[in-house]
Structure 1
């Protein structure tokens, strides 16, 4: 799964009537499925934990937002499963819409950033585990059931593992399928993660083969950010790729981390890399054709094939050379088929955005643009697609088209946290593509500060990061009298926003006062 933190990844209002294209939002909690309870403030959460303790039930907390593709993927593949709905009777299901009034404060409380994040708590309110939202729905269900049956915090399990204590197979699985991408340093500092996972992989050998392999793959892949690994691991990776059952079990790791794995184990082009790429492509072809996987997961396998085909091309090359014509034809055909066949609104948000992205990675920009434009009218969050169109135009050097799409995406975006994020993206695009347009930059930044004034959660979590991004750009901006004057006006406006904050909210006051406190030379 690709998280949507700003990045993700991975915002989404968790609507639960999953059969309709225009289901009610998260807070409606209607329909025959899971009895989700919406949380928009600390008081809501505290009430649900009191309920959970009284009923002796764990709490499953979901954090997401309306536009977020992997969040919509969860709606289309996990939250509507009969076994998940039945299992939900055993826990208190709590959903946080990232655009809710107090959602960003709750994000700070629970240390969540990327959308989606799923956290399982004990009835007493202790965190048991974070679920791997990037895995396929069947695997997530197994991990959820493990967490429910164990009730033991994964933090304690990790401490025992690091101390050399004996773990059973289920405890190893909790570690292997922990949501490391959404850990936010709850278990480990990010700098220690790759080495620790490698140690766990070695320690788990003999207890559970799939878990040991998963931990090892993660330690070599994205957690190590493609740094060279012990080349002795190359036969192990090739064995996973050539074994259909193993490749299926590790599907999410292989598709999401393919380039990192290849670069780590074969740092330089040559015969070893060529052989590994051939094995990888064959495994990804099988996953792409595996109808037991969701359509988004199958498209992710196709995108991994494209990423590997362009592995030696410059990272941002808009027209990568060497992608086989047959692979380009597959990209066109599968993207077109997905656009024609998918009818569920949540699945469309996940699948169409994935298809458009892989088309762009293949250098098929017209096809990507056409797909996104054709989907605008049917998307419940068209502003996300508009941002993709802006990104497509920027990568092709079409500056004015890019700015037009980024501006329209900001104007059409909905929800306080989303508007701050989309506004900050628009301001960043202006600084990159049209830094001399002082009036336009000032107008966009002023609009963003006005949005912050209306949002009591503007100086927490994702919203605070959006405002910090804009402030950092403005801090180095004053290069002319007109820019200096604009900066002064914006600082005066922001000072007014800070002055209206609740004096008892020291966190928000400090964050606001610090935004334009100093300027870079």
Structure 2
């Protein structure tokens, strides 16, 4: 038996070339995931980590989730990643396993996917940017191990003005702020923190790539310029990134996913300066959409960015936006190419759902519907596509058709957490689009409560939020007390369920709080 690698030796071993990070794995290769559905599974994983002196990499995801499927189609099939995970204890929490939502509460994870690197002792080192491409994720893994310090300690030093190494700044720059879940910062304070870090990195020894990324992240999180007061130097920095193919390629994930937000933060007002910036940004996105070294999902994100830029000064809910004919032709060609070329199951779930959204954003609703319908039989999670079809119909005012798709999506959904999520979505649509159908509303709520009573994880994390959404919709539906008889019957059903729910972790309190008494009239 070979001796375990020390953290430093492991870090050095990981600093291997990552140019082939997206090379597909052979059939004989696979990540040795340890599935976890309970605290006992986690304890065994960390016991193994301590025994072997290895860190733990935790992946939280779901079968239907498009970004999760993107990881499965790229990073998790990468030869480099599979080889490097031999030095980790790799733990997979599927959100639909029996105790997964409880584990989600334990590790403060909500969004799918979330990737967290832990020390063998269970100390969180960093959260990895699941939206980034494989090579970047591998680099963040390297940084998390090479530094040996948790990102929280690194952030504390950065805020105190202490000197950080270039690698520590990079750890902050590539941290997954989107899945932080208040481990480092509250959402309302994130923009200010990113601005502080970007300014500190700029004169604190960080490399230019890290400084650029922190400024882009700050702009993306600035809520239409409310958080970042862009000056001429920052505008010039971003224009330089957009003009440079190497730099724009390095930050493709931020530039494509946050195009409109970045432009609004830099140029809040419409006018000639914004038009100039949009034209430059569109050119960068054109390059990225044509870049075959990017995944198809990333290239689709670039095309979505182009459409969002073109829609910027139009109503956000415009069903038929006015877009240039050339852009519409590019969207159609992109969609046709993706439908033709993407055949692998995981990749298709990630790409086709994005392309269908792209077509809708461009006002090409028939094309979006046709693509989704043709893809139903090819999807391992067709209910996700059905919910998109429901959303398409709803946006166009076709209420009955929307409800049919939402109902079918709920009926076809699989897994306890997924069923509660899809069921709460269908229920919300029922209340919004058919409030007069009291019988169906009651029947659907009763079914969801019954399924919750059969799932020990129903009052944790995502499942709890799905049920709370149902309770909130019931309250709004009964705002005037006109449906109190229905709520009384549902409350009686719920009381029987709650009485059997464990009191630990506020589970029973969550259950009992789902249906509240109507407010008394003055």
Q: TM-score band (shorter)?
A: over 0.9
Alignment-derived partner of residue 302 in structure 1: 303
Structure 1 pair 456–518 and aligned structure 2 pair: CA distance change class (3 A): same
Structure-to-structure mapping, 1:185-334, within 5 angstroms: 185-205=182-202, 206-224=205-223, 226-227=225-226, 229-232=229-232, 233-321=234-322, 323-334=323-334
Separation in 2 of the partners of 1:72 and 1:226? 33
Aligned to 1:488: 488
TM-aligned CA deviation for residue 505 of structure 1: 2.8
Matched, 1:129 2:130: no
Separation of aligned partners in 2, 1:258 and 1:213: 15
Inter-CA distance 270–479: structure 2 relative to 1 (3 Å threshold): closer
* Cα pair 1:231 1:266 within 8 Å, conserved: no
Residue matched to 1:15: none
Task: Give the aligned CA root-mean-square deviation in angstroms.
Answer: 1.6
In structure 2, what is the Cα distance between the partners aligned to 1:123 and 1:81? Answer: 24
Q: Which residue of 2 aligns with 1:438?
A: 438
Over residues 166-218 of structure 1, what are the superposed CA-to-partner deviations in whole Å (9 max), with x where a residue is unaligned? 11111111000000000001011222211111111111125210101111111
SS at match of 2:77: coil
Deviations 1:360-384 (Å, cap 9, x if unpaired)? Answer: 0000000000000000001000000
The verdict on how the C-alpha distance between 1:31 and 1:440 changes in structure 2, with shifts beyond 3 A counting, is: farther
Task: Provide the residue aligned with 1:166 in structure 2.
Answer: 163
CA 188–479 in structure 1, closer or farther in 2 if over 3 Å, else same: closer
The answer on whether the counterparts of 1:57 and 1:90 sit within 8 Å (CA) in structure 2 is yes
Question: Conserved in 2, the CA contact under 8 Å of 1:390 and 1:404?
Answer: yes
3-state secondary structure, aligned to 1:500: coil
SS of 1:79 mapped into structure 2: helix
Q: Using the alignment, how far apart are the partners of 1:289 and 1:450 within structure 2?
A: 49
- Asked if 1:178 is matched to 2:165, the reply is no
1:18-74 residue CA offsets vs partner (Å, 9 max, x unmatched) = 989xxxxxxxxx963110000000010011101101110000000000000000000
1:49 aligns with 2:28: no
Matched-pair contact (CA < 8 Å) for 1:155–1:187: yes
3-state SS, counterpart of residue 483 of structure 2: helix
Q: Distance in 1 between matches of 2:192 and 2:306?
A: 28
Q: What's the counterpart of residue 151 of structure 1? A: 148
Q: Secondary structure at the match of 2:120?
A: coil
Match of 1:343 in 2: 343
Secondary structure in 2 matching 1:328:
helix
DSSP-derived class of the 2:93 partner: strand
**Residue 10 (structure 1) aligns with:** none
Residue 117 of structure 2 corresponds to residue 85 of structure 1: no
Q: When the two structures are superposed, what TM-score results if normalisation uses the length of structure 2?
A: 0.92
SS at match of 2:76: coil
Report the CA distance between 1:477 and its aligned residue.
Answer: 2.3
> Cα deviation per residue 1:286-337 (whole Å; 9 max; x = unaligned)?
000111100000010001000000111111111111x111111111111111
Instruction: Sort the Cα spacing of 1:226 and 1:416 in 2 relative to 1 into closer, same or farther, 3 A.
Output: farther
Equivalent position SS for 2:59:
strand
- Distance (Å, rounded) in 2 between the aligned partners of 1:520 and 1:377: 47
Unaligned runs of 5+ in 2: 1-23
Contact 2:407–2:426 (Cα < 8 Å) also in 1: yes
Contact preservation (8 Å) 1:476, 1:519 = no
* Aligned counterpart, 1:11: none
Aligned to 2:388: 388
Give 4+ residue runs of structure 1 displaced > 6 Å after superposition. 479-482
Alignment of 1:395-414 (within 5 A): 395-414=395-414
> 1: distance between equivalents of 2:262 and 2:221?
8
1:64 aligns with 2:61: yes
The match for 2:372 is 372
Quote the offset at 1:239 in angstroms: 1.1
- Corresponding residue for residue 416 of structure 2: 416
> So what's the TM-score if we normalise by structure 1?
0.92
Question: What is the CA–CA distance in structure 2 between the aligned matches of 1:148 and 1:225, rounded to whole Å?
Answer: 36
Q: Does 1:98 align with 2:95?
A: yes
**8 Å CA contact 1:501, 1:509 repeated in 2:** yes
Is residue 516 of structure 1 aligned with residue 515 of structure 2? yes
SS of 1:120's equivalent?
strand
Q: Aligned in 2, Cα 1:385/1:177: closer, same or farther, shift over 3 Å?
A: same
State the match for 1:3 in structure 2: none
Aligned residue in 1 for 2:472:
472
Q: Gapped runs of 5+ residues in structure 1?
A: 1-17, 21-29
Q: Kindly indicate whether the alpha-carbon contact (under 8 Å) linking 1:438 and 1:482 is maintained by their aligned counterparts in 2.
A: no
- Going from structure 1 to structure 2, the CA distance change for 1:506 and 1:178 (only over 3 Å counts) comes to closer
- Counterpart-to-counterpart distance in 2, 1:225 and 1:388: 27
SS in structure 1 opposite 2:477? coil
1:248–1:287 contact (8 Å) kept in structure 2: yes
Matched position secondary structure for 2:163:
coil
In 2, are the aligned partners of 1:19 and 1:344 still within 8 Å (CA)? no
- The match for 2:12 is none
Q: Is the 8 A contact 2:222 2:261 kept in 1?
A: no
Show the counterpart of 1:139: 136
d(CA) in 2 for partners of 1:253, 1:436: 44
How far apart are residue 223 of structure 1 and its match? 4.9
